[in-house]
A and B are shown apart, each in its own frame.
Chain A
Amino acid sequence: NAGVMQNPRHLVRRRGQEARLRCSPMKGHSHVYWYRQLPEEGLKFMVYLQKENIIDESGMPKERFSAEFPKEGPSILRIQQVVRGDSAAYFCASSANRGSISEQYFGPGTRLTVT
């Protein structure tokens, strides 16, 4: 049973370019979460999505960042016009959220470097 998959694992972008990060949840999971980890810090929530719906985007920067989880295919986190401060590890998590059980499982992360 495959875990949460993220690609690419490493991404290098020049300032001003776009970054697209992909996440495929665990089989049977329909809830996806994105978190960001800056160097030497803990993880910070960005956005929570279900298929075709954004449930909570209160942790997402208001500009340049967007996320989607289409009916078919992976969830995408998109960062437009990247700046050096966007350099971080971006983690995706998924959960099944059955009843009161909502354990989140994390992917290996995408390490974004902006040069």
Chain B
Amino acid sequence: GIQVEQSPPDLILQEGANSTLRCNFSDSVNNLQWFHQNPWGQLINLFYIPSGTKQNGRLSATTVATERYSLLYISSSQTTDSGVYFCAVEQGSGSRLTFGEGTQLTVNP
């Protein structure tokens, strides 16, 4: 099956810093989503981004489908950004998501 690799596995930042999280996948995909799992365990949808670039406030994402990677940018990080960031891909249309192992982000005040 498809492999999804996220890097770095862990990231510690000071409040106000910027960061880039990466997601590589081993085959062509129909859909790619970024999620934030907060410290209470809830999964928050960040982006639905099979290709191109999207921005939402301090967060933006870019997916280059032909090169099989996606990037999540977090600018001016805040302590509330702490948690695990997951990338997930879907190969068929309307089928299962395959998740990466996540990036654990800690933002210190």
A and B co-occur in one complex: yes
- A residues bordering B, Cβ < 8 Å? 31, 33, 35, 41-45, 48, 56, 59, 89, 91, 93, 95, 97, 100-106, 108-109, 111
Does B56 touch A at the CB level, under 8 Å?
Answer: no
Chain B residues whose CB sits within 8 angstroms of the CB of A89 once the complex forms = 41
The residue of chain B having its C-beta at the shortest distance from the C-beta of A111 within the complex is B41
The residue of chain A having its C-beta at the shortest distance from the C-beta of B35 within the complex is A106
CA distance A106 to B98 in the complex (A): 14
Chain B residues whose CB sits within 8 angstroms of the CB of A105 once the complex forms = 45
CA distance A111 to B41 in the complex (A): 10
Chain B residues whose CB sits within 8 angstroms of the CB of A43 once the complex forms = 43, 86, 88, 97, 99
Q: Are A42 and B93 in contact (CB under 8 A)?
A: no
A-side binding surface: helix, strand, loop or mixed? strand
Total number of residue pairs linking A and B with CB closer than 8 Å = 57
* B90 touches which of A91, A102, A111 (Cβ 8 Å): A102
Q: Are A48 and B96 in contact (CB under 8 A)?
A: yes
* A108 touches which of B41, B95, B97 (Cβ 8 Å): B41
Q: Are B94 and A31 in contact (CB under 8 A)?
A: yes
CA distance A99 to B45 in the complex (A): 20
